[in-house]
Chains A and B, each alone.
Chain A
Amino acid sequence: MIQNNTMAGTGAEKLSTTVREQIIGLLVRYPSKQAVTLPALHLVQEALRCVPFWAMREIADILDLSPAEVHDTMSFYGFFRTDKDPLGKTRLWVCRSLACQLRGGDDLLAEFCAKLGVSPTETTDDGKITLEFAECIGACEGAPAVMVNDEHRLNIDQPEKVDALIEELRAL
């Protein structure tokens, strides 16, 4: 196993005790330690807004895996980001699938891009909002829909609603 001292950086590059304990607490739920990979990645990304390589090593260490196995799983899900590309405070997803597109989803995404001054996957300069496009988020009855982190917001169909949402997220 690769030792921590081979890495650049300071001692701050360590998961907090809380996150470590949360990960360890999940082990009893599954007969295999590897099954905790996704929940652990979620916990780390939630706390750090990304999963740095040193955190992958630490997860691997807790789960008796090689860091490559954690990275292999993580890189499959476009959901997780490394420290080259961390998330802003809020992740805002705009649905681009059919039901939303038919009701203006593409225009909505373009509007968010213009008003936030970023392209999808980028974060605003103030670090507040990361804009993403999403494949169907399962809120088609309220198309065009967006997601604020993991909560749906339905019927974002007027410019005023876009402005209000941006204002709300900027204030967080």
Chain B
Amino acid sequence: MAYEPVLLARANKADSTSLEGYRLDGGYETFARVLKDMTGQQVTDAVKSAGLRGRGGAGFPCGLKWTFLPKGHPGPIYLCVNVDESEPCTFNNRVLVEKDPHQVLEGILLSSYAFKATTAYFYIRYEYGAGMRIMQKAIDEAYAAGLLGKNILGSEYSLDVFIHRGAGAYICGEETGLIESLEGKRAWPRIKPPFPAIEGVFRKPTIVNNPETLANVVHILRKGVDWFKSIGVPPDPKNPRDAGSYGPKLYCISGHVNTPGLVELPLGVTIRTLINEHGGGVWKGKKAKGCIPGGISMGLMTEAEFDTPLDFNGPCRVGCLGLGTGAVTVFDEDTSIVDVLHNLCRFFQHESCGQCTPCREGTGWMFKIMDRFRKGQGRREDLTVLEEVADKIGIMPGTTICGLADGAGWPVKNAVRKFRAEFEKYIQDGSASRSKPLPMAAH
């Protein structure tokens, strides 16, 4: 049976961004009902029992995060909406915000009401100018309709939403980096604990969620916990720590496929299905060599691993870091793995914030080594060095403050382990395998 999209149900409608259009489809009815009949605690309980996990990359249970807020805090409590969606190959939140801003806004309202936030900062990356303007219009409409501001819909509850634009830094997607950036400082991630729920932006309790997670909250409250849990993959009974992978997920498909795009499916679809049924297959009738499974930080998969389900556990079983953002980028059989890894290393070297030495230096060295490879001067021992650096930088080995370095190391580890033969051949061929030089200053 074909899956009926929920989050993207309105995306292709002619009038998908206006308040009027959203209301015709039952928009804000859920919020009005919740405001009248439910307490914040009940909303949190519903989200918790639905097993909603954050869609931003780490997959942390959303309701659980909310319960970390101190009980009976006098306020203010803040919500930061993380739309600094900078993970390469990821664009699900952009589409959500551009196509259905009121759905996101209703999610913001419901969530803020649940944990009594009085101000929500919508931190959107500078690159999403269109999304920012569409969202601003939606916020203005909501204020005019009494859905935002003081005493919303005649209730005791008040909420302000402000848009805050980023300035092109990947690290602002890390929640404490985002908080520092919002405070007007360098976006250097903070040492945790304290976690943002205890001490976040402006030293007050703060919850950071992304639009896709918040949009899911709307549908949990609209259609119920049972509906949400009927979608996706239940927890692995053999793994007591698995929280399950329930609900819909937006998957981005890009790279060497015939029809790149965004598709909403139940969690747990395989990469092969995604490519063949939703991405139109690999382009030019070629075969795939591999893909990145969920943003480049999650590592690399070979074509043989394409039957891996994209739920919160699947990618881990083949040595990837996790589901990540659910952004699959396919590269075909004629793509050099050296070029792919060079591109990924260049990204992390450029985006490392420079706070922790292992990450700042490590990403730089990995990029230098890859650059040498591309010039045909790779050495066999470089593979060992790459693996060693990749293994030792990050929050898991305990050498950095945030997870950027783990994400930088993962594709390197995966590439060297899974595509070693190709690297070795590249080294052997020496200058004969040299890749095409990149345009000036594109390094």
Contact = CB atoms under 8 A, between A and B. Distances in A.
Contact of B167 (A32, A77, A139, A140): A77
Contact of A41 (B162, B167, B185, B440): B167
Contacts of A142: 260
Contacts of A119: 440-441
B128 interface: yes
Contact of B127 (A41, A99, A110, A150): A150
B371 to A, nearest CB: 14
A50 to B, nearest CB: 14
B306 interface: no
A99 B439 contact: no
Interface stretch (A2-10, A11-19, A100-108, A160-168): A100-108
B184 A35 contact: yes
B172 to A, nearest CB: 9
11 contacts: A29-B160, A78-B168, A97-B343, A98-B344, A102-B255, A106-B438, A119-B441, A121-B441, A140-B91, A150-B128, A150-B129
Contacts of B170: 135
Contacts of A143: 254-255, 260
Contacts of B183: 32, 34-35
Interface in A104-160: 106, 109-110, 113, 119-121, 133-143, 147, 149-152
B109 interface: no
Contacts of B168: 77-79, 134-135
A139 B91 CA distance: 6
A68 to B, nearest CB: 12
A66 to B, nearest CB: 13
Interface in B80-117: 85-91, 94
Nearest to A97: B88
Interface string A30-47: 111011111101100000
A15 to B, nearest CB: 18
A102 B331 contact: yes
Contact of B329 (A41, A99, A147, A152): A99
Given A121-B441, A138-B125, A73 B86 contact: no
A48 to B, nearest CB: 16
A114 to B, nearest CB: 9
B321 to A, nearest CB: 16
A150 B436 CA distance: 30
Nearest to B169: A77
Given A98-B344, A120-B441, A135-B86, A141 B261 contact: yes
B50 interface: no
Given A34-B183, A38-B167, A138 B439 contact: no
B186 A102 contact: no
Contact of A138 (B127, B165, B343, B442): B127
B90 A149 contact: no
B327 interface: yes
Interface string B327-359: 101010001000110011011001101000000
A111 B439 CA distance: 9
B347 A76 contact: no
Contacts of A29: 160, 162
Given A98-B296, A98-B343, 9 more contacts: A29-B162, A32-B183, A32-B184, A73-B186, A79-B168, A101-B343, A103-B256, A136-B88, A136-B90
Contact of A103 (B160, B253, B255, B442): B255
Contacts of A97: 88-89, 343, 347
A155 B165 CA distance: 26
Q: Closest 4 interchain pairs by CB?
A: A150-B129, A37-B184, A140-B254, A110-B439
Interface string A56-78: 00000001000000001100111
A96 interface: yes
B195 interface: no
A138 B260 CA distance: 13
Given A36-B184, A77-B169, A110-B439, A140 B202 contact: no
B181 interface: yes
A54 interface: no
B292 interface: yes
A76 B126 contact: no
Contacts of A136: 86-90, 347
A53 interface: no
B9 to A, nearest CB: 19
A142 B255 CA distance: 10
Given A98-B88, A98-B296, A42 B127 contact: no
A73 B438 CA distance: 31
Contacts of B126: 42, 79, 150
